[in-house]
Amino acid sequence: MPIVRTVSRAVSQLLQSSGCGCGISIVPVRFIGVSPRQVASDAAFHSVSFSESDHPRVLITGGLGQLGVGLAKLLRKRFGKNNVILSDIRKPADNVFYSGPFIYADILDYKNLREIVVNNRITWLFHYSALLSAVGEANVPLARAVNITGLHNVLDIAAEHNLRLFVPSTIGAFGPTSPRDPTPDLCIQRPRTIYGVSKVHAELMGEYYHYRYGLDFRCLRYPGIISADSQPGGGTTDYAVQIFHDAMKTGKFQCNLKPDTRLPMMYIDDCLRATLEVMEAPAEALSMRTYNISAMSFTPEELAQEVQKHVPELQVTYNVDKVRQAIADSWPMNFDDRNARRDWGWKHDYDLPELVTTMFSFLGSDSRIAQAN
């Protein structure tokens, strides 16, 4: 199919130039034979343990983005290094390449993606390949191809081979007409970005495939995710990462949202653990296929006050970006995640004080940082 090959080349070129970790293409360049490993004795999860014979064979698409590498590390600790294959269309760093199986894979190449699933006897698939909001708005046809056509390929392969499929959704799947405080699992969704539209499409298609074909589809709507090992990329919620870097480097931070802009947030460790736990949950425990998950909700002003407990001299000013502010004003202020907590026992570990302390501990000490209690 010439169109698919053309789009696939375009995806590769865009991702190589933009640094967005959201692709995949094919041909196993390095794969070590799968053999079960003993689960680390210090692994701590809120869900049930697997025996060695139950280990899934896992494929992660778009694995070089913000979440994929961390997810692979968590899953390898849980199931054994060689049971988890990371994939992307970009070349991985050496530490990622040598940490476990990695393959080059393209979700727009249906045949070869299917070969990967068959040849490696995949049973679980985490589908992280997507063009995110900013990149997607800059190239809507490409975002439509990757986020929607790529999803359809994954859905068909997962249904054909009886996979357990996880596709993440997002706070951006809601729009200005959605209830914002709190936002329930089921409500009006009218997002105004191609990324948000494609995620609503993924939620509905996954649910359809579940009821029509029996696909074991599972989805979580992520809030803003905060991580110490990823640099801010100019997104709407990235101020919550930038403030830590600026506090340590200059002692001055300029926020591009209003001080009272409340958004749901989550530390990356909680996000990755929630992803694993919903995949481990018994199918009969799930009353729906897409869940909100939440940990905390705060404003820039509240975050700044908590950061100033560690860096008292931090100076915070506000220079509101109208575009980002409009996006933030259309997003939920609080996620209602009672169904996740009831159905499969979701509970978060990090509130705002723990988040701030953990971020500073990962980013390192500085002479301006006061000793925390």
Residue with tokens 């709407």: 236
Structure tokens at 261: 């802009």
Cβ-proximal residues to 167 (8 Å cutoff; 6+ apart), any chain: 127, 151, 154, 202, 206, 217, 218, 219
Whether 195 is catalytic is yes
Task: List the catalytic residue out of 104, 110, 195, 291.
Answer: 195
Asked if residues 125 and 164 have their Cβ atoms less than 8 Å apart, the reply is yes
- Residue by residue, DSSP assigns 17-86 as HH------B---SB-PPP---PPPTT---SSPPPPGGGPPPEEEESTTSTTHHHHHHHHHHHH-GGGEEE
Can you spell out the DSSP letters for 175-244? -TTS--SSB-SSS----SSHHHHHHHHHHHHHHHHHHHH--EEEEEEE-EEE-TTS---S-TTTHHHHHH
Residue 103 near residue 27, CB atoms below 8 Å = yes
Catalytic residue list: 195
